[in-house]
Structures are given as C-alpha cells and as structure tokens.
Amino acid sequence: EAGVAQSPRYKIIEKRQSVAFWCNPISGHATLYWYQQILGQGPKLLIQFQNNGVVDDSQLPKDRFSAERLKGVDSTLKIQPAKLEDSAVYLCASSLVTQRGSYEQYFGPGTRLTVT
Amino acid sequence: GENVEQHPSTLSVQEGDSAVIKCTYSDSASNYFPWYKQELGKRPQLIIDIRSNVGEKKDQRIAVTLNKTAKHFSLHITETQPEDSAVYFCAARNSGGSNYKLTFGKGTLLTVNP
C-alpha cells in the first residue's frame, strides 16, 4: 500500500514569512497527526485529527500555527508568521481506528523547514 | 500529561554485542508502548510495540520488556549489526477516549562499530 505522502520535502523561508505543508495519509486511515521534530529530540504532537475533527491541539501554538483537514483526508499545516525556533522537521502520520483503538502510526518522510 | 524519559542518549557497541535502551513513563493509564527506529534523514519506522497486558515481546533479534509496576520498558537488540545504527525512540500512549496521542522520549543514538 502507498505510504503517507508529504510535500514539500524541504523549505527555506525568512522569519515573519508564512509557509504551508501538505499531507496525504494512507487511504482509509481516519486518524491524522502532525508532529514537530526539533533536531536531536523526539517528535512532539502538534495536532491530531479524527476524520475532519480535531481531537487534540493542546500543544499547537495557535497564535501562529493552524491546521485543517476539511474533507477528512488530506491535511495542511500553516505557520504564519514563522519564527527562527520553528526550524524543525514537520512529520505527518496516520493510523487506523479499530475496535481496540488506534495503534500503529505510519509516518511520512517529513518536511524540513529552515527559518532564517 | 504523560512524560517519557529515555536513557542513554547515546550508545556505542561493537558488532555482535547486545544493546539495551530504557524508558520510564509517568502516566499509569498508558497502555501501549511502541519503539521507532529513525535513520538519518528518514522517517521514524515502527520496529516493535508492546501492550500493557503483556510483559515481554520478541521479534528475531529485537525484544521489548514492560514492567507496569515500575512504569518502565526496555528495548533489547541482540547480535547487533552496523545497519542497526540509528536513533531509537520509545513512546507511550494512554487509553483516554479517542485521543491516541503518543508521547515520545528524546531518543537514543545507537552506533554499532564493525
């Protein structure tokens, strides 16, 4: 089966500019996650969607970050305006929801963002 | 919220030796513990996971053990090979509602020297 797709793979922007990332999860996966992975650290969850509804966005800096999953499939994550500390890899992941709960998360290749 | 501590941050072993990475978690409601391997510049990939109703799970050279009382779990890699070199992340997930949030440790850089 096809994996999680993300684009772009790399992005360099200046601080205060805006940027958007796109994710296409594995077909049939109801749950979609956006993670931020700063160099040398583990992924940190920014937002979780179940279909097109937000389940958890407690760690999303809502003053500058926004995300949507309008039709319950693809998702976009936007940063406006970007700060230097936003430099990181942004990972999208998806998982199935089963009767026993959602378990394995499949990650996309990530978007490496550099803010200068 | 959940907090996951992972040790060591770096680990260097000789090819053929064993490697052990340990994690502790804070939320006693956590019930799912996956381990991910991330090679340089690549996506994290699940290598093994364990659920809270099991104390140990093995898959060829990789095993994971879970001690629910002490709230810690460990990854064991035997007969290490150079291709095992990567960053390994542990994670924990609680059982709350529809929130399948994983909390990750900070990672262990494993280097297997030929």
Nearest CA to A44 out of B8, B78, B1, B21 is that of: B1
Task: Name every chain A residue with its beta carbon within 8 A of the beta carbon of B107.
Answer: 40-42
Question: For A42, what's the count of Cα atoms within 13 Å in the CB-facing half-sphere?
Answer: 24
A70: confidence class by pLDDT, cuts 50, 70, 90: confident
Q: Which pLDDT belongs to residue A103?
A: 72
**A48 closest CB neighbour out of B43, B89, B99:** B99
B98 — pLDDT class (breaks 50, 70, 90): low
In this prediction, residue B41 carries a pLDDT of 87
Worst-scoring range by mean pLDDT, A98-112, B29-43, B79-93? A98-112
Interface test with A, best of B10, B52, B95, B100 (most A CBs within 10 A): B100
Among chain A residues, the shortest Cα distance to B50 is held by A103
The rounded distance, in Å, linking the Cα atoms of A91 and B21 is 24
Spatial distance between the Cα atoms of A43 and A46, rounded to a whole number of angstroms: 9
Q: What pLDDT digit, counting tens, does each position of A20-58 carry? A: 999 999 998 989 999 999 998 999 999 999 888 998 899
Beta strand spans in B1-114 (E)? 4-7, 10-14, 19-25, 30-38, 45-51, 56-59, 62-67, 72-77, 86-94, 102-104, 108-113
Instruction: State pLDDT tens for residues B32-76.
Output: 999 999 998 899 999 999 988 888 999 999 999 999 999 999 999
* Residue of B98, B102, B104 with shortest CB distance to A55: B98
Do B104 and A43 count as a contact with CB atoms less than 8 A apart? yes
Chain B residues with a Cβ under 8 Å from any Cβ in chain A: 1, 4, 6, 32, 34, 36, 42-46, 49, 89, 91, 95, 98-107
Residue B107: which of A42, A48, A58 has the nearest Cβ? Answer: A42
Cβ contact (<8 Å) for A91 and B43? yes
Inter-chain residue contact A43 with B99, CB threshold 8 Å? no
Residue B99 has pLDDT above 70, yes or no: no
User: Peptide bond preceding B34: is omega within 30 degrees of 0, i.e. cis?
Assistant: no
Q: What is the rounded CA–CA span in Å between residue A87 and residue A115?
A: 5
CB A4 within 8 A of CB A93: yes
Q: What is the DSSP string of B37-63?
A: EE-TTS--EEEEEEETT-SEEEETTEE
pLDDT grade, residue A98 (50/70/90)?
A: low
Task: Kindly state the DSSP code that residue B111 receives in the 8-state scheme.
Answer: E
Q: Residue B83: phi, psi to the nearest 5?
A: -75, -5
Distance of CA A10 to the CA centre of its chain: 14
